[in-house]
Structure formats: structure tokens, C-alpha cells
Chains A and B, each alone.
Chain A
Amino acid sequence: MSVFEINDLNIRFDTPEGEVEAVSNVSLSLRKGECLGIVGESGSGKSQTFLAAMGLLAANGSVEGEVVFDDTNLLKADEAVLNGIRGNRIAMIFQDPMTSLTPHMHIGRQLSEVLVQHRQMDWSIAREQAAEMMRRVYIPEPEQRMDMYPHELSGGLRQRVMIAMALLCQPEVVIADEPTTALDVTVQAQILELLRLVKDNNDSAVVMITHDLGVIAGLADRVAVMYGGRIVEEGDVREVFYDPCHPYTKGLLTCMPRLDESGIEALRTISGQPPNLQNPPSGCAFHPRCSFSSERCRIERPSLEVLAKGRRKACHLEMLELKQ
């Protein structure tokens, strides 16, 4: 039963150099309690999709399509309704904890205000609950930390604060946009562990946006791969990882360095550059970099077809051809 649905989303940006279509025909659905991973490189449109869904798109962006949550189309809802949902029923966690917390406000206040806003609590009660949540995300000595400023905490702790902030109102959906990218590896592991607990303990659906396949493998139930503003592959995490249908997915998987491989002299790459969305390639956006591409790929853009329940791909190739 889907809790959150994005239907045929298109996002355009009006830039000084012209109009850019950043996201095209994206449709996704999220089920209760599941973790959906969104994989893609910078510029693939993965973050913009969800920012637009929440009504947080930049001023020069315009969005078409439908985003359904609780029988409401969020794209047509007015600001008051959206404010009631944001931070309350759908929460977001952002990438860079250094800059994502208000520098001149105490941590405690930044946490409490969520409860004050959505639950009309007293500040003192909100503060207690905030401290409790800080404990639950393993922030040591929450009482002292409440009165500190963000710059007094380490990156890992700040990200925990962000997570705490997202969980305070027990949201039905948590959207995590590259939550570990700006952190060092050891801290990454801790945060991911925390997110796993979030997923397992609450009934929230989680969207994990990342470029790191390792994160997906550890956390997601299903994954959607985005390239050039479109979804190119989607399915159950295990299926996609063991049996990718799209050369890009295959490329990503191949590129990951593995400890159990020996004797590689050079790191593997996907040759070429991500597509310039102001002047996208003809046909399939990936074809210039694809070692399987054919004339057809250059001319005709493959549409997203359903292979099986919950499994989609956008590629002209048949799956067998890919297994080389």
C-alpha cells in the first residue's frame, strides 16, 4: 500500500543560459515501512525530485505532475497545508550538517521549535522531548549539548541532530538526501546504523538518496537508478545488484572497488561525462558512454518499461546481452 506517490514529474529550470529540463517523467511509489534507494550522480535530478515534491524547489524552477500523499496532491496544495506536512508527517534530512543547521541558534531551540510548531507544545516540554530524542540517536550528554551552537559539535553529532530533528514528530516518510556524503567513513557507518534502526523501529518509509551503492546495499529494500533526469532502472535491491538491466547500473556496479579483488592495476571508470542537460544527447541520454550502444540508441529514447512487478528498465537491450 503506497504511502507516497510521485506521478510523471517534470522539473524545468529557467537559467540565464536557457531552460533546462532537470527531471523528466519520473514516477515512483513508496510503500509503508520500506526503504527506497535513489541512486544517481550529481545532476541526475535525484535531489530535485524530492525537493520539488516537498515544495522546496528554487524560485527559478517549475514543476509539473502529481505528488500524492494522504490523498492530497502536494504540488497543488497551498503553503499552509504543506507547512503542516513538512517536518511533521514527511521529514527531510540533508547532506551537509556543517551548513544545514542555523549557526546562531542553540541546538535545543532548533529541535524544540519543531514540536512547538507542530504539536503546539510548551517550550519547556518540547525541550524535554528533544533531549529524549537526542538520547535515542545516541548523542551523549544531551542536556549540555542542547545549549550549544552547531559549530561546537562534530560533523557526526550534527548529523545526528538533523536525524533527531526529523524524527521528533514521528513522520510517516523520511527523505534522507545524501546524509552521509559529507562525513568521514567511520562516522558514515555509525549514521547508517542509526538510519537502519530508524527504519526498523518506526513504521516510517524511508527514501535514501545517494550516489554510493554501498549505502544502498546496506539499507534499501528497493532501488531506483536515475540518469540524466530520468529513471533508467528500478527494482528490488538484490535483483538490481545481481542482475542489472541497464548498462549504467552495470557500470556503477563494476566501478566499485572491492576488497576481495586482487591484481587490479587501475580503478575502473565509466568513460565520458554526465550529460549536459541544456543540450542533452539525442535518443538515450546514456548512449555516448555506453559500450553496448547501437544506432537505435542514438535515435530513439528508450521508455521505461515494466519487466515484472516492481521491476522496470529503460533500455533497448535485452537482459541477456548485458551479461558479458
Chain B
Amino acid sequence: MSEVHIPTPNSQALDYSAEVRGRSLWQDALHRLIRNKAALISLLLLALTAAVSIFGAYIVPYSYAEIDWELIGVPTPASIENGHWLGTDSLGQDLLARALQGGRVSLSVGLLATSVALVIGVTVGAVAGFVGGRMDQILMRFVDVMYSVPLMFFVIILVVIFGRNFILMFLAIGCVEWLTMSRIVRGQTLTLRNKEFIEAARAAGGSTVSIIMRHIVPNVLGVVAVYVTLTIPQVILLESFLSFLGLGIQPPMTSWGALINEGAQEMEITPRMLIVPAAFLTTTLFCFNFIGDGLRDALDPKDR
């Protein structure tokens, strides 16, 4: 009857178990995510929006830049017969087609810029966290300084300098959004590096690569996934904001932000021109929001 350990009053099982079961944590999280109705609906809605934006171009009779010369001059209301299902704007362009094109632009900017942010952020964060020491200090000092800068201004400056080139724009946005990602990844790497289970795994004879693959990656991935779902809408927002001010997408190309700008100008007569792109943008942003929240809850239920 004499084991080595003393029955301390706080005999709760220590929490390492959560990390070591690398795989079942994911199943657990997936389970929770599926049960979150808001997140699920948002996922479907988002997929729907994406699908419609991409494939809608084949169904809607008009293209986004096509001017309907008969209807030019004044925005016309929605009608089924002439094929302008949501009406036209003052240039005779089909509103629905433009809204869908806006979707393509906004979503692709979202994904592309976030990918840029992801690559830079994860690299910087992981290096800082893993290498530590001077490198960590320098990198984080740099991030801190960048944080104090009103980044909106820098994006605009970059856009002004390099012109409203689509590719450069999402590079510029990506360069600005990676900061938070790097901090998150660094934080996570640091925490993981010091956790006892790494030592336990090493003591049990695990090689560095297997440690990284089985323990570090799943945990960092979770946190990164949550922040990706939060970054994409921020990027879309940034792009829309720029386009709204006239500093982003240039006509005839369009995005939701630009459409909202046009809509705001015509809203006295044709509120539809404001409401359609606004509805698209708002719904998409809400969807990302719910998905992000859902992911966060799924991966770390304590954090409600």
C-alpha cells in the first residue's frame, strides 16, 4: 500500500494530456465545431457566396463591365425581362454582375493577401519563438515599432506609390496584416517550447522532427487557423475601405467597396445600389466572424 506519491489535496490530473493526444484533439474540435450552428450556417453561406461569385458569371446574362447602351444614363430598376435581375447603374452596367465580380475580387484579395500575411507571419513568429535570444528581441522590437505606426496610412502610401495594381495591392495589405500573426505564432511557439511534454517526449526518445510534427504543429496550426479566419475579413475590409475611398480597385473593375461608394452616391434615388453590395459584404463579414468564433470555441472551450 505504499506508492511513491502522496495524495495531495489538489489531486487533479495535470493538464498535459490535452496536448499529447495530438490527433484526438482535432476530432474533438471538429465535433464541437459541427455542433455550433452559427458557425455551420456561416460556412455554408460563405461557400454559397463563393460559388455564386465564381459560377454566377456563367449564369447572369451580362458581364460586369458590359454597358447596356439602351439603359445608359440613369440607374434602372430590377426587371426579369431585360435580364438585369437587380437593375443597372447609371452607366448601364448590370448590378448583379458587378456585385458578383465584386465578390470574386474581394474574396480573392482576402485569400491572397492573407496567404502573404500567413507566410510572413508564421515564418517570423516561428523563428523568433524557436531561436529566441537576440533574433527574437530584434524581430519583436521591429513588430512593436510597426504596431505603433498607423498602418492604414502606410497601405495608402504604398498604393499611391505603386499605383493601383491589383497584385501590388494585396501584397501591400498582406505586408501590413502579418504582424498579429507573427505575434500569435511566436507566443504559441514559446509556450510550446517550454512545456513539459516536449521534454517528456524527448526523454521518451522522440526525434526533433517527430516532436515538431506530432506536438508543435497541431497546436500552432489550431491557433493559426483561428487567426486566418479573422484576418481574411480584415483584409476584405481593408480592400473595401480603399476601394470606397477611390484608392483601390479602379473602374471598370469593381469590388464591393467601390460598389458601396457608387451606391452611396446614388442612394437618394436608387437605394438598391447601396443595399445590394452592402448586403453581400456584411453577410460575408458576419460569416467569417461566426466561423472564427466557432473555431476558437472548438479548439479552446475554456476560452468562452
Chain A: residues with CB nearer than 8 A to chain B? Answer: 16, 41-42, 211, 255, 265-271, 273-274, 291
> Which residue, of B3, B5, B6, B7, has the highest number of chain A Cβ atoms within 10 A?
B7
Q: Across the interface, do B11 and A268 meet the contact criterion of CB distance under 8 Å?
A: no
B1 interface residue per 8 A CB criterion: yes
Q: Across the interface, do A269 and B3 meet the contact criterion of CB distance under 8 Å?
A: yes
B194 interface residue per 8 A CB criterion: no
**Chain B interface bracket (under 10, 10 to 19, 20 to 34, 35 or more):** 10 to 19
B10 interface residue per 8 A CB criterion: yes
State whether A271 and B6 are in contact (beta carbons under 8 Å apart), knowing that A41-B11, A42-B11 are contacts in the complex: no
Expressed in whole angstroms, the minimum distance between the Cβ of B130 and any Cβ of chain A is 33
Inter-chain contacts of B301 with A (CB < 8 A) = 16
Q: Which of B1, B4, B9, B10 contacts A291 (CB 8 A)?
A: B1
Expressed in whole angstroms, the minimum distance between the Cβ of A187 and any Cβ of chain B is 19
Within 8 A of A (CB), among B28-52: none
What is the 8 Å Cβ interface bit string for chain B, positions 12-41, against chain A (1 contact, 0 not)? 100000000000000000000000000000
Q: Across the interface, do A269 and B9 meet the contact criterion of CB distance under 8 Å?
A: no
Q: Which of A42, A266, A273 contacts B2 (CB 8 A)?
A: A266
Interface majority SS (helix, strand, loop, mixed), chain A: loop
Inter-chain contacts of B4 with A (CB < 8 A) = 266-267
Within 8 A of A (CB), among B83-112: none
Inter-chain contacts of B11 with A (CB < 8 A) = 41-42, 273-274
Q: Which of B2, B9, B10, B12 contacts A268 (CB 8 A)?
A: B2
Chain B: residues with CB nearer than 8 A to chain A? Answer: 1-7, 9-12, 301
Determine the distance from Cα of A143 to Cα of B75 in the docked complex, in whole angstroms.
Answer: 79
Q: Across the interface, do B2 and A41 meet the contact criterion of CB distance under 8 Å?
A: no
Q: Across the interface, do A255 and B2 meet the contact criterion of CB distance under 8 Å?
A: no
> Which residue, of A268, A269, A271, A274, has the highest number of chain B Cβ atoms within 10 A?
A269
Expressed in whole angstroms, the minimum distance between the Cβ of B189 and any Cβ of chain A is 30
Inter-chain contacts of B6 with A (CB < 8 A) = 255, 267, 269
Inter-chain contacts of B5 with A (CB < 8 A) = 269
Q: Name which residue of chain B comes closest to A251, CB basis.
A: B7
Inter-chain contacts of A273 with B (CB < 8 A) = 11
Q: Across the interface, do B1 and A269 meet the contact criterion of CB distance under 8 Å?
A: yes
Expressed in whole angstroms, the minimum distance between the Cβ of B118 and any Cβ of chain A is 33
Determine the distance from Cα of A270 to Cα of B2 in the docked complex, in whole angstroms.
Answer: 8
